[in-house]
Amino acid sequence: MCNDFLYTLLDSMSVSGHEIGLQKKVISEMEPYCHEIRTDYTGNVVSILNPQAPFKVMLAAHIDEIGLIVTHIMENGLLRVGKAGGVRPMTYPGHQVLIHGENGPVCGTVIYDREQEKKELKVGDLYVDIGAKDAADARKYVQEGDPIHPNVHPQQMANNLLSARAVDDRGCAFIILEALKRAKERGCGIGVYCVTTVGEETTGRGAYWAGSSIRPDVAITVDVTFASDYPGTDPKDSGDVRLGGGPVLCNSSIGNRKINALLKDCAKKKHIPWQIESYMGDTSTDADCLHQTGSGVVTALVSLPLRYMHCPSEVCSLDDIENSIELLAEFLCTIGPNTDLNPFHE
């Protein structure tokens, strides 16, 4: 497992709608390992193994992150902001941020009106101070539409845990790309299409474009899920999910039971720990778009347990990342055109 590439993903800017810079790094990393790399006009990158193989499995993980967007520059030089995805406004005050302007990153600090102290903060209550004297001075550095993210960096914690910004979902983008590399080493013969999708946090457009274009036989979305091992969470909501417990398989109305069964068999064969969560209806991941593309796609969801989702610093387990890579690599080397995916067959 190449932690340098993981840290490159986690330390880069990819606020939803501004993913191309990071996608170029994905292309640079994956070119030596793929038989073909495709891009599309919405910004997806597709890393492909065995493009001539008739049986195709698509792995999808979104490359975009939540963040803020400059919406207005005040006369006093402070910035007003909107949201790109499901930010939690109460977690932003006091944090240092980076605003990515046309001429490069600009440092700022998030503040709020003290009159809001006893009220529930909304994104519209936040301001960003970049040190500008006035609006004209601020416009030398930033403009409306510039993306903003917390200025935090990956840090390894005790017990092989990792704290970083936007593990959701660059940690999972790393998982699918490393799984392709490992499957190739083991002689995988099916068509593997690893898509780092754009826009999941805001529109879901990337998954729809990719699924419609590739038309895979099977699609697995890899995203994060809520761990239930920290204050304010409850296992009764969807299951007992813990950091270090392994990748999480989703029992849902979307998830294909035969694919889940095959994933469990692969986990048992390789002695990989795994966990279960249950959701009915939409999963709030790329799986929701993917399983409805074309004439329908056999779809499953594999998740990385995560603490503090959509906060400036999220926490995951490096062991769970490694086990997720190993599970998916084994799955890619096991499934094939003769795998029976018909739910009416016992």
**Residue tagged active-site, from 200, 314, 326, 330:** 200
Q: And the tokens for 176?
A: 């699918």
> Rounded to an integer, what distance in angstroms lies between the CA atom of residue 10 and that of residue 13?
8
Tell me what pLDDT residue 245 has: 96
Give the pLDDT confidence of 258-311 residue by residue, as tens digits.
Answer: 999 999 999 999 999 999 998 877 888 999 989 888 888 999 999 999 999 999
Percent of the chain with pLDDT over 70: 98
pLDDT at site 111: 92
Confidence of residue 121 (pLDDT cuts 50, 70, 90): confident
* Mean pLDDT across the chain: 94
CA 11 to chain CA centroid, Å, is 14
Tokens of 319: 């062991």
Chain centroid, CA 160 distance in Å: 20
Is residue 200 among the annotated active site residues? yes
Write out pLDDT tens, residues 30-75: 999 999 999 999 999 999 999 999 999 999 999 999 999 999 999 9
User: What's the confidence (pLDDT) of residue 51?
Assistant: 97
Beta-sheet strands, E only, within the chain? 36-39, 45-49, 56-62, 67-73, 79-84, 96-101, 104-112, 126-129, 147-150, 155-156, 161-164, 191-197, 218-226, 248-252, 275-279, 298-306, 314-317
Q: Is the pLDDT of residue 18 over 90?
A: yes
Looking at residue 328, its pLDDT comes to: 98
Confidence of residue 1 (pLDDT cuts 50, 70, 90): low
Residues in the chain: 346
Distance (Å, rounded) from C-alpha 301 to C-alpha 284? 11
DSSP 8-state symbol, 101:
E
| Number of other CB atoms surrounding residue 119 within 10 Å | 10
* Residue 231 confidence (pLDDT): 85
Sign of the Cα torsion 210, 293, 247, 334 reads negative
* pLDDT class of 119 with cuts at 50, 70, 90: confident
At residue 124, φ and ψ (nearest 5 deg) are -65, -10
On the 0-12 / 13-18 / 19+ scale of CB atoms within 10 A, 51 is: middle
User: What values do phi and psi take at 148, rounded to 5?
Assistant: -135, 140
Residue 258 DSSP SS3:
helix
Question: What's the rounded Cα separation, in Å, for the pair 313 and 153?
Answer: 9
| pLDDT score of 118 | 59
Alpha helices in 75-161 (DSSP H): 135-138
- 234 pLDDT above the threshold of 80: no
The answer on pLDDT for 237 being more than 80 is: no
Give the pLDDT confidence score for residue 52 in this predicted structure: 97
Reported as a pLDDT band with limits 50, 70 and 90, residue 230 is: confident
Query: Can you give the pLDDT at residue 279?
Result: 81
**86 or 237, greater pLDDT:** 86
In degrees and rounded to multiples of 5, residue 96 shows phi and psi of -75, 145
Closest by CA to 320, choosing from 185, 255, 229, is: 229
Residue at 41: amino acid letter: Y
Residue 2 has pLDDT above 80, yes or no: no
| Segment 89-103, tens digit of pLDDT | 999 999 999 999 999
Nearest to 141 by CA among 149, 151, 131, 150: 131
Would you place residue 4 in the very low, low, confident or very high pLDDT band (cuts 50, 70, 90)? very high
